[in-house]
Amino acid sequence: MRNAGADDHIVSVLIRQQSHPLDARRLESLILRMLKHLGILSAELHVLIVDDRTIADLNMRHLGHEGPTDIITFPASEPGDDHLEGELVISAPWAARVAEEHGDDLFDEIALYAAHGILHLTGQDDISADDFQAMKQREFELLRAVGATIPKGRFDHVDTPEPLT
């Protein structure tokens, strides 16, 4: 699916797995609201929702990490550029496991991963403990600003020690 917003925004969400149904149009709409809230006037963002095998392959090939992960962000522009461009690859099974473990909704967990990836594309990092805390705060603020639900079980405390990729 491809959705061009009122500004110069192109957001596409492709569902490349079948075990966890997801409303691609709803996710596109939410991502457009995130981009607009962040003041990003021009963007092309492609979001792939994949299975664990696919994300594990990408994780090894591009990051040298073994096994699946929650999200991998592939920037195609530099932070601060007039046009934000990139790709987010999100594991639906990973998100489903986390959501189920904590009693959260799958869509809310994936929305959190999308916010995380968008913030990475804008130059936000989460390597150090301080950066991680700042990133969590920005994710929460962004989700609240666009009317999304923050997954309560996993991220009810900002000092959660596990950063997303």
Q: Does domain 2-155 have CATH number 3.40.390.30?
A: yes
- 135 neighbors 96 (Cβ within 8 angstroms): no
17 DSSP β-pair partners:
none
Rg (CA), the chain: 15
Q: What is the pLDDT of residue 79?
A: 86
User: Where do the structural domains in the chain lie, given as residue ranges?
Assistant: 2-155
Helix pair angle (92-102, 106-121), 10° resolution: 120
Distance between CA atoms of 96 and 98, rounded to whole angstroms?
6
Query: In the block, which residue shows the tokens 């989460």?
Result: 126
* Residue 78 in this model has a pLDDT that exceeds 80: yes
0.75 cut: is pTM over it?
A: yes
* Residue 72 in this model has a pLDDT that exceeds 60: yes
**How many percent of the chain have pLDDT more than 70?**
88
- 110 neighbors 34 (Cβ within 8 angstroms): no
Identify which of 104, 107, 105, 155 has the alpha carbon closest to the alpha carbon of residue 133: 155
Q: What is the pLDDT of residue 156?
A: 46
